[in-house]
């Protein structure tokens, strides 16, 4: 069984320790790192390559720029954003979707396709 690799970036310390204690009891979940400073989350995610980033957000329903950046860079990663003071959390993930459309064999169609900017990864599903 493949273990789920989790990076914990959670403040304050007491909540982080509670989350870590809960995860430690799970045989299929492995903590691959702990981030103590928000400024190091992206760097540590690059190094650890977790399956899941568990972090605290003051307002989890408004995904932060950090979540968007990380999911754009690591679309295979998922993010659990928890706001314990609101007793709420959000699970973010990116969905890669391959689409196509037929083109007419003319200059206008080729130029239109060149200028089109279709999304390659959709935003988090909320």
Confirm whether 72 is domain-assigned: yes
Rg of the Cα trace of the chain? 18
pLDDT of residue 43: 95
What would the pLDDT profile of 64-75 be if each residue is shown by its tens digit? 778 889 998 998
Confirm whether 120 is domain-assigned: no
Say how many domains are in the chain.
Answer: 1
Confirm whether 122 is domain-assigned: no
The DSSP letter of residue 54 is: E
Tokens of 112: 């239109």
Question: The domain spanning residue 28 has which CATH number?
Answer: 3.40.50.2300
Using alpha carbons, list the distances in angstroms from residue 93 to 16, 52, 99, 118, 123: 22, 9, 19, 19, 8
Collapsing DSSP to helix, strand or coil, 31 comes out as strand
Confirm whether 121 is domain-assigned: no
Q: How far is CA 72 from the centre of its chain?
A: 8
The DSSP letter of residue 3 is: P
Owning domain of residue 109: 4-115
Confirm whether 123 is domain-assigned: no
Q: How many CB atoms lie within 10 A of CB 88?
A: 13
CA distance 78 to 96: 13
pLDDT of residue 52: 93
pLDDT of residue 44: 96
pLDDT of residue 61: 59
Confirm whether 63 is domain-assigned: yes
Low-confidence residues in the chain, pLDDT < 70: 58-63, 85-86, 97-99, 105, 116-126
pLDDT of residue 124: 44
Confirm whether 124 is domain-assigned: no
């Amino acid at each position: 069984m493949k273990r789920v690799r989790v990076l914990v970036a959670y403040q304050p310390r007491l909540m982080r320790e509670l989350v870590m204690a809960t995860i430690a009891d799970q045989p299929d979940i492995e903590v691959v790192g702990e981030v103590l400073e928000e400024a190091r989350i992206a760097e540590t995610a690059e190094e650890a390559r977790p399956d899941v980033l568990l972090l605290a957000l003051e307002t989890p329903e408004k995904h932060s720029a950090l979540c968007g950046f990380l999911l754009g860079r690591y679309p295979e990663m998922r993010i659990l954003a928890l706001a314990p003071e609101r007793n709420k959390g959000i699970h973010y993930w990116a969905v890669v979707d391959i689409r196509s459309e037929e083109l007419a064999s003319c200059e206008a169609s080729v130029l239109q396709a060149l200028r089109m900017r279709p999304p390659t990864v959709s935003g988090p599903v909320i």
